[in-house]
Amino acid sequence: MLGVLGFWIVAALLVIGVHACVHPMSAIDCDIAKLVVIVGVSFVYMRFIAREATVDHGLFVGAIWLALSIVAELATSAHSGHGWFVLIGSPDSVLRNVLMFAWIFAPSLFARHRRVAEE
Amino acid sequence: MNALKRVRRAIIGPPRDVSDPQVFHHVSLIVFLAWVGLGADPLSSSAYGPEEAYKQLGPHAHLSIILVAMMAVTILVIAIAYSNLIQHFPGGGGGYLVATKLLGNRVGVVSGCALLVDYVLTITVSVASGCDQVWSFLPAKFLPYKFPAEFVVIAVLIVLNLRGVRESVNVLAPIFVVFVITHAIAITYAIATHFHALPAVFRDAHNDLTTSVHTMGWWPLILILLRAYSLGGGTYTGIEAVSNGVVMLREPRVRTAKRTMTLMALSLAITAGGIMFGYLLTNSRPAEGRTMNAVFLTALFGHWGGLGTAFVIISLVSEAALLFVAAQAGFLDGPRVLANMAVDSWMPHRFAQLSDRLVTKNGIYVMGFAAVAALIYTHGDITTLVVMYSINVFLTFSLTELGMSRHWIKDRAKEPRWKSQLAIHGTGLVMCLCILIITTLEKFSQGGWITVLITSATIALCFAIHRHYEEVRHSMRRLDEILLATPVPNDSTPSDLEPSLPTAVISVSSFSGFGVHQILSIHKSFPGYFKQFIFVSAAVVDSGNFKGAEEIGHLQEKTENDLKQYISWAQSHGFRASYRMVMGTEAVRSVEDVCRELAQQFPRAIFFMGRLIFREEKWYHRLLHNETPHAIQRRLQFEGIQAMVLPIRVLE
């Protein structure tokens, strides 16, 4: 579980960093860069830490990452008194759905250990 | 076991042994758990069904007494009809199986597809509605997080269901119990505290009815009632869940299913009827930003101070949580319908496959991902979702009732009780058709069209899949006719195998031209080299045969008989031959284990697997036909074992 939490922290910090650097220039580029970061961190986690992980595990990790992102955004919004949507994306942006998908499903994309069924 | 496997075990649980006679006992649901797992769907609809019906009455709120009676009768009729259905189809299957058996394959597919879309929407409606309830307690600034939270809930439910049916229900049982207790208290309290006012309520209802008849006439009044009754049809959704999930119930299954159905019908009739009657007793009126149930509970307990507020919050939170539990019905029954359709070749065969936790894993993923897609399309808008949902539910209900009515008319000579049964199913058919027609006509432009479109597209897809499988089956039949008709010599060779001799190990399924073709191909490629054959087969336990110890026994017996036929065939052609059989839920892993053992016993063995080859490989072939032979080959070759895949042509 520490690995799951640790990699979420890394991903969240990178996403915040990307937001600070890229968002002032272009909102769309910023969302795309965030997407790359999330997929990249998922790749590193699944290929180097959870080497034999199945799709189930990837999905579980993705659900935890999105839940943690929601909690982080809720806590920051409550603390700052205004909406803070850096991790999942702005509610007005179409790319918000894509970012949510990325948080949940990106780890499953790199699951190596697939079982094959027989008819 | 490494750390990851330990985490996986903790989340998903250890694999189950299908050959264990106690496995059905461990995974099956007793009446109470079945009531929780399958009853949460109908019971949770009391959160929005009665409200929708009550709102449609407008100024004629007193007529809700008639609606309560209509609601109770409808639940009773549908429940009795589905209890009969369980008796007739103890193997389960619900609407899909009934329509297939009683109205034909094509109508069965329509019913099955409507059910599939219905279960996807059950998940979406329940999760969206549950989050709506939770978010109604939170400040408005948190509203942007509702949608992502719905994503998380669906993902968590997917993971929970991958653990297994019973485990997922155990986790959710406390929520169900809190809902039942709080709502029972609320309804009892509402009636007890307004007991003295009951005569006045009935008198007002009578006056309202008389005045309305005088001012509008009978027909407009009947239409108002029918419209409210139909648009409150969401209340009855989910009653069919037990008949779809009979196979997951504890033995004796029919008795368990009937008891579950009784509990479900009673609890739904009391809760939905009680809540609507409660609206009338407390004179609850729709309020902006609040559900009718919130208005009703506040009217009852609001004056109790802190304790009353706490009770209202607990009741509404349990209602929200129950809606999440209700999503379970979609995850329990949706994959089961998908599996039944896969067994009949209407859906890709892999949907019938069970995981090592004995759940239809691929079906769970499909239901979950489709629910997420529906959520994105509707943005969690309950009104649109409920309309989409009701149309499909009542389409399946109507086809089921039509099938049963037809059955009683056709078999009236053999069935002494046919008149009473026909009366029940005929009444059910009229009620369901009425709700279906009114909902579709009223709400076609408000989301109804998309349901019709998606269901039609799913039906078209099923027919395309079935056609492909039929073509392959036809080609395989030709192979059987040619190869199994080969004359078999009478001389027989002893079956003792010599470990030092070159051995061909062939992975086969049933005794067919496909397997014989593999033997002949080996001969053609290695003339005179192999002196002995070992046939390996995995008895794969899938959703179609995971129904009880008896079915597993039959599967084992059939697999063994098929292997013995290969032995006779090989021996009669002068070869030494033997077989190995293994049982499991996954062919690849099971066959791989046996092959590894054989490679140690027979060092000169080469392993062969057959694979269908099409003249033109299409992208969808990989979805419809598995890659088992290549997967086994890859794994064996990685272990340093010689393995070959033999092509078997499919002549289209």
Average pLDDT of B623-628?
A: 76
For the cut 90, the answer to whether the pLDDT of residue B613 exceeds it is: no
Q: What is the pLDDT of residue A41?
A: 93
Residue A59, domain member (yes or no): yes
* Nearest-by-Cβ selection for A52 from B4, B162, B627: B4
Does the beta carbon of B158 lie under 8 angstroms from any beta carbon of chain A?
yes
Contact B542, B354 (CB under 8 A): yes
Local structure of B610: helix, strand or coil: strand
d(C-alpha B127, C-alpha B382), whole Å: 10
User: How high is the pLDDT of residue A117?
Assistant: 38
Of B5, B8, B628, the CB nearest to A116: B628
Partner A contacted by B373 (CB < 8 A): no
Q: Which residues of B touch A69 (CB under 8 A)?
A: 148
Question: Is A84 within a domain?
Answer: yes
Does B195 contact chain A (CB < 8 Å)? no
A·B CB contacts under 8 A: 93
Tell me the pLDDT band of B537, cut-offs 50, 70 and 90. Answer: confident
Calculate how close chain B gets to A26, using CA atoms only, in Å: 22
B144/A contact by beta carbon, under 8 A? yes
What does the CA dihedral B397, B43, B250, B335 come to, rounded to 10 degrees? 60
Looking at CA atoms only, how far is residue A90 from chain B in angstroms?
Answer: 9
> B489 CB contacts (<8 Å, ≥6 apart)?
B572, B573, B574
Q: How far is B652 from chain A (nearest CA, A)?
A: 20
Range in A6-10, A28-32, B92-96, B248-252 with the lowest mean pLDDT: B92-96
Average pLDDT taken over every residue of chain B: 82
Answer yes or no: is A115 within a domain.
no
Interface contact B244, partner A, CB < 8 A:
no
pLDDT digits (tens, 9 = 90+) for B393-443: 889 889 988 988 998 888 888 878 888 889 989 998 998 898 888 888 888
Q: Which residues of A touch B361 (CB under 8 A)?
A: 56
Is some CB atom of chain A closer than 8 A to the CB atom of B623?
A: no
Structural domain contains residue A118: no
pLDDT of B125 strictly over 60: yes
Of all residues in chain B, the percent with pLDDT exceeding 90 is: 9
Using CB atoms, pick whichever of A50, A51, A60 lies closest to residue B11.
A60
Q: Provide φ and ψ at B412, rounded to 5°.
A: -65, -25
| Whole-number Å distance between alpha carbons of B495 and B419 | 62
Residue A114 within any structural domain of the chain: no
B312 pLDDT above the threshold of 90: no
**CA dihedral of B172, B174, B176, B181, whole degrees rounded to 10:** 180
State pLDDT tens for residues B296-310.
Answer: 888 888 888 888 888
Are A118 and B156 an interchain contact pair (Cβ–Cβ within 8 Å)? no
Assigned domain for A71 exists = yes
Contacts of B627 in chain A (CB under 8 A): 116
pLDDT classification of B200: cutoffs 50, 70, 90: confident
Q: What is the mean pLDDT of residues B157-162?
A: 81
- Which residues neighbour B441 within 8 Å (Cβ) at sequence distance 6 or greater? none
Query: Best mutation site among B6, B8, B375 for testing chain A: the one with the most A CBs within 10 Å?
Result: B8
Among B32-46, B141-155, B215-229, B543-557, the least confident range: B543-557
CA B65 to chain centre: 35
Nearest CA in chain B to A91: B144
Cα B166 to chain center, whole Å?
Answer: 15
Rounded Cα distance between B119 and B366, Å, is: 11
Predicted pLDDT of residue A119: 34
Per the structure, the complete domain to which residue A48 belongs is given by: 2-109
State the total domains in chain A: 1
Q: Which structure tokens are listed for A47?
A: 């290929």
CB contact under 8 A, B152 and A63: yes
Q: What is the pLDDT at residue B156?
A: 85
Top-confidence residue, B600 or B356 = B600
Residue A116 lies in a domain: no
- For residue B382, the tally of other CB atoms under 10 A from its CB is 17
Q: Is the dihedral of CA B49, B52, B53, B55 positive or negative?
A: positive
CB pair distance less than 8 Å for B587 and A117:
yes
Residue B51: band (very low, low, confident or very high) from pLDDT cuts 50, 70, 90: confident
- Examine the pLDDT at B151 and tell me if it is beyond 50: yes
Is A43 among the domain residues?
yes
